[in-house]
Amino acid sequence: MNYQTNISFGLVNIPVILNSAIKDNNVSFNLLHKKCDTRLEFIRYCPHCDKKVKSDEIVKGYEYRDNNYVTFTSEEFNKLKSDNDKNIEIISFVDINEIDPVYYDKSYILTPNKSTKAFELLKEALRKTKKVAIAKTYIHNRLYYVVIRFGYENIVMNSLYYEEEIKLKKEKAQKDFTEAELKMAIKLIDSLSGKFTPEKYIDEYQNRIKDAIDKKMHGKKITKVKGKKNKTINDLYKALEESLKDTNAKK
C-alpha cells in the first residue's frame, strides 16, 4: 500500500504519502491437490450463466430479500464520497492515554510529499505537546477514524475500530481474593517488570516452520516440539509464592 493524500490541519494542507508500517512475516503456502501436488485455481464462476466471470463483469450486491439484490458499481461508491473525504482531516487532539489499546487496528507511516516544512512542524508539535490527533479518512473504500501520533521519529497513523465493533463490556470485579494474595501477585509483577524491548520477541512458530521446510527439502522427518512441564498447585497463594521463587532464581 502506497498512495498520496493530504493531512488537513485547520487551513493547512500537508501533502503526505501513506505506507503500511507492517509487513506480513508468515511463511506463504500454496494450496495443492493432495493427489498430484498441482496448484489449485480459484475461479469466479456464475452457475446461472454456466461460465467464468471476468473482474470487469463483477458488481457488489446487497441482499435486501432472499435472492433480491440492489447492486453497486465502483463508480457509484465513489459518488458517495466528497472530495474532502480523500484527505486525512484532523478533528481534535487528545492525550494518548485516553485511548484504550483495544481500539487500535492497523498501523501506517506518513512521510512528506513535496515540501516538508509543514510536515516537520506538525511532527515537532506532536512530539512537544505529547498529544495525538484524531482524524478521519478513507482507507480501501471504508471510512476510518484514525490516530496520528509521533513515534519512531516519524508520524505514525493508526486506524481505529468503531465503538460498536468493540465487544468488551465493563465488568465489576469480584474481589474474592485475600489481601495477602494481592500483595504476592504485585510482588510477582514487580519481579517480572522491565522495559519494552520488541526485538526480543521472536516469532518462534514461524522459525519452526522455516526449519521444517528445510528439513523436508533434505528428506528429514518433522519431530514433535517438546513443551514445558507445568506444576499444578491448587492453592493460589502457594502458586504465586512458588512463581516468585522461580522468577528470582532465574535472575
Whether residue 250 has pLDDT greater than 90? no
Q: What is the pLDDT of residues 104-137, one digit of tens each?
A: 999 999 999 877 899 999 999 999 999 999 999 9
Q: pTM, whole model, 2 decimals?
A: 0.79
Reported confidence tier of residue 1, pLDDT bands at 50, 70, 90: low
Q: What is the pLDDT of residues 135-144, one digit of tens each?
A: 999 888 789 9
Predicted local distance difference test score (pLDDT) of residue 201: 85
Long-range contacts of 221-225 (CB under 8 A, 24+ apart): none
DSSP 11: T
The CA-atom distances, in angstroms, between 113 and each of 9, 90, 154, 170, 186 are 16, 18, 14, 43, 49
Q: What is the pLDDT of residues 52-67, one digit of tens each?
A: 999 889 999 999 999 9
Closest CA to 96 of 122, 133, 121: 133
Whether residue 160 has pLDDT greater than 90? yes
In a 10 Å sphere around its CB, with 0-12 CB exposed, 13-18 middle and 19+ buried, how is residue 131 labelled? middle
Arithmetic mean of pLDDT, 74-80: 84
Predicted local distance difference test score (pLDDT) of residue 156: 96
- 187 Cβ neighbours under 8 A, 6+ residues apart: 240, 244
Integer Cα distance of 16 and 88 in angstroms: 10
In a 10 Å sphere around its CB, with 0-12 CB exposed, 13-18 middle and 19+ buried, how is residue 122 labelled? buried
Reported confidence tier of residue 233, pLDDT bands at 50, 70, 90: confident
* Cα torsion 217, 218, 224, 228: sign: negative
What is the residue type of 71?
A: T
Closest CA to 20 of 147, 127, 126, 158: 158
CATH code: domain 2-25+88-163 is 2.40.290.10
- Residue ranges covered by each domain of the chain: 2-25+88-163, 45-79, 179-250
Asked if 159 contacts 106 with a C-beta cutoff of 8 angstroms, the reply is: yes
Predicted local distance difference test score (pLDDT) of residue 9: 86
Arithmetic mean of pLDDT, 213-230: 86
Predicted local distance difference test score (pLDDT) of residue 118: 92
| Number of helical (H) and strand (E) elements in the chain, helices listed first | 5, 11
Our CA angle for 165, 168, 174, nearest 5°, is: 170
Asked if 39 contacts 32 with a C-beta cutoff of 8 angstroms, the reply is: yes
Reported confidence tier of residue 176, pLDDT bands at 50, 70, 90: confident
Name which of 61-70, 77-86, 162-171 the model is least confident about: 77-86
Grid coordinates in use for 214?
528445510
